[in-house]
Amino acid sequence: MLKWYITVPLSLLLICIYMLVQASVYATRHYNMNFGAGLRFLHLSDIHINLLVISSARIKRTIRKANPDYILISGDLIEKPKDLERFVKWYTGLDTRAPAFAVFGNHEYKCFRQNPAFKDEFVNTLKKLGIRLLVNETVFIQDKKADSSGKMKITALVGIDDIKTGEPFDNDILAGLRDKCDTVIALSHNPDISLQIPENSVDLLLTGHFHGGQIWMPFKLEYLLLRKDKLSKMGYIKGFATIRKNLVYINRGLGTVVVPFRFFSVPEVAVIDI
């Protein structure tokens, strides 16, 4: 019979290997929202490039298969300013021609606090990659389908800054968009923003931040003890939820924080047809 000083370390090693494997695989989720826009988004979140163990070559295959019209990224691309070079190499490896939009996450703002001058470098670098950062602003996208009169439909994409660390969001930005556009899509990092925006103001809010739990704990201990985010304490940590009459999607993200481990929370790429 193996003694405890052999079985315990061996068991821990096997658990760590299992969690590393879980962090290195990902699921592709495909959702058809039936909004009638005829557009396809590929949604990424929480890349955390410094600990990412998913290669760009694998995501590249997913992107080519999905053939999205736009790539949307819900923040937390990097942990430290020095990670930017690695992110550039990874994103370049995706070899995608699809235009991309992104918002800042709390980890980007942590970098900016450490080095305020880095913000301009970050924005300009992403611009060169074809990624436009949206900070409490709206872009209008022409849909692929026309309405019954033959008029081309318009989708509004609203980038909302991080609710905890970013610039305060003015709800007036959303006012009247439903009258001007056929579909309103919002992109933000922290799902808690859904508790601030007006009721029934967006068709879909795409978020991340929670990692779907990353390392599962019984009784939701991670969210009760380690996080202050309101939505997670309410039990909303991944997938779809309706908050204040707005449909919210919480992406589990690709990367990890602290350690490159996941446990019962596989990374994901979401393909969303609107």
- 222: domain CATH number is 3.60.21
User: pLDDT at position 2, please?
Assistant: 56
CB atoms within 10 A of CB 33: 17
Instruction: Tell me what pLDDT residue 245 has.
Output: 97
Instruction: Give every CB contact of residue 13 below 8 A, 6+ residues apart in sequence.
Output: none
CA distance 6 to 25: 29
Q: What are the residues whose beta carbons fall under 8 Å from the beta carbon of 18, sequence distance 6 or more?
A: 263
pLDDT for 9 equals: 77
Close Cβ partners of 15 (under 8 Å, ≥ 6 residues apart): none
Range of the domain at 164: 4-273
* Rg of the chain on CA atoms, in Å: 19
The predicted-structure confidence for 115-164, as pLDDT tens digits, reads as follows 999 999 999 999 999 999 999 999 999 987 776 777 788 999 999 999 99
Domain count, the chain: 1
pTM equals 0.94
Pair of tokens at residue 176:
């009247």
Residues of the chain with pLDDT under 70: 1-2, 4, 147, 226
* Cα distance between residue 58 and residue 242, in whole Å: 32
The CA-CA-CA angle for residues 158, 69, 133, to 5°, reads 40
